[in-house]
Chain A
Amino acid sequence: MTKPNYDALNVGDMLPSFTTEPVSRLTLALYATGSGDHHPLHLDQDYVRANGIGDVFAHGMLGMAYLGRLLTQWVPQEAIRSFGVRFTAITQIGERLVCTAKVVEKLEQDGEKCVRLELTCANEQGEAKHKGDAVVAVG
C-alpha cells in the first residue's frame, strides 16, 4: 500500500467509505473476546433488564475500531499520527454503521506532509455515534 499524494489531495475530498453489517449479539460476543471487554451491558440481556435498560448495546470502541479500519484501508497503519473520537450516541443491536472520512486540512506537522481527516461513524439514518479526527502522513 502506498501513501496518497499530498498535492493530489484537496480539502473536502472524501475517503472511500463503508457500511458495516448490522451489529448483532454475535458481533458483541466476538468483540468481547477480541477486546477483553466482557462488561455485561454488552452481553447479558438479563443483567441489562434488571438494571432498567431495554437491551444490550455495542461497545463504543467497536465503532472506533471500524473507523480505524477505514483509516488502514486508505493508508498503511504506520502513517497514522493521531486518532481520536468522542462518543455521542449508543449503537443498538441491528444498526449498520456508516463510516466516513473527509479531508479538512492539509498541514505540515514535525516537518512531514499530513492531512487532517474528520471522521464520522453514524447509523443509516444519519445519527452520529462517534465523531472524531485523525492526522495521517501522506506522500
Chain B
Amino acid sequence: MLIDKKHIGMKVPPHSVTLTAWQLKWFAKATGETNPIYFDEEAARKAGLPGVLAPPTFFFCMDMDKEHPFDYLETMGCDLMKMLHGEQSFVYHKPVYSGDTLDFDGEITDIYDKRNGALQFVVKDVKVRRQGELVCDVHSVMVIRA
C-alpha cells in the first residue's frame, strides 16, 4: 500500500535533548575516536571549548533520542520492520557541546516511491536550535520496503 502523500508537510512531534558528556564518551569509544575533545571534559576545557564537542553525526542520535523516534512513520501506517535508512545528511551552523539543550523541530518534506511502490521513501527535515539559534539542519530519508 502506498503511503498517503497527504502526510507531506506533517510536523513531527518536537522534542528537546540535553547533551551529556557521558553519552559522548561512549560514542567516541564506539567509533574509535582518539581526540580527547570528543570524550574528556577537562581536555575540552583546556582546548577552550565549553564542553565535550558533539561529533558531526551525533545530531542524528539526538534526533532519535525520544520514546518513539519513528512516530511519524507509525502515524503513516508504515511497518517499521520494513524500514531501512536510505540517506542521511547534515548542514552545520554552530558546534554543540555537552551541557547544551537542543530543540528538534521536524517536518515531512517529501514522500515518493520507486519500482512501482516496491520502495517508498519518506523524507524528514529537522531544524535543530539552541536557545532559538539554528545550529544544524538534519535531513533523513527512510526507505520502506513493500
| Chain A interfacial positions (CB closer than 8 Å to B) | 20-21, 27, 30-31, 33-37, 51, 60-62, 64-66, 68-69, 71-73, 77-78, 80-87, 132
CA distance A71 to B84 in the complex (A): 25
Q: Which A residues touch B92, using CB under 8 A?
A: 78, 80-83
CA distance A60 to B9 in the complex (A): 26
Q: Which B residues touch A78, using CB under 8 A?
A: 92, 95
Smallest beta-carbon distance B131→chain A, Å? 19
CA distance A81 to B92 in the complex (A): 5
B27 within 8 A of A: yes
Contact A35:B27 (CB < 8 A) given known A65-B55, A84-B89, A87-B84: yes
List the 5 closest pairs (A to B, CB-CB), nearest first.
A84-B89, A34-B27, A30-B30, A34-B26, A31-B30
Q: Are B30 and A34 in contact (CB under 8 A)?
A: yes
What is the predominant secondary structure among interface residues of chain B facing chain A? Answer: mixed
- Between A and B, how many residue pairs show CB distances below 8 Å? 101
Q: Which A residues touch B24, using CB under 8 A?
A: 34
Q: Are A84 and B90 in contact (CB under 8 A)?
A: yes
Q: Are A87 and B32 in contact (CB under 8 A)?
A: no
CA distance A84 to B87 in the complex (A): 7
B1 within 8 A of A: no
| Chain B interfacial positions (CB closer than 8 Å to A) | 23-33, 35, 53, 55-57, 60-61, 64-65, 81, 84-92, 95, 139
Smallest beta-carbon distance A24→chain B, Å? 11
Q: Are A83 and B85 in contact (CB under 8 A)?
A: no
Smallest beta-carbon distance B34→chain A, Å? 9
Q: Which A residues touch B60, using CB under 8 A?
A: 35, 61, 64
Instruction: Choose from A35, A71, A84, A85 the contact partner of B61 (Cβ within 8 Å).
Output: A35
CA distance A136 to B30 in the complex (A): 25
Q: Are B64 and A83 in contact (CB under 8 A)?
A: no
Q: Which A residues touch B55, using CB under 8 A?
A: 65, 68-69, 72, 77
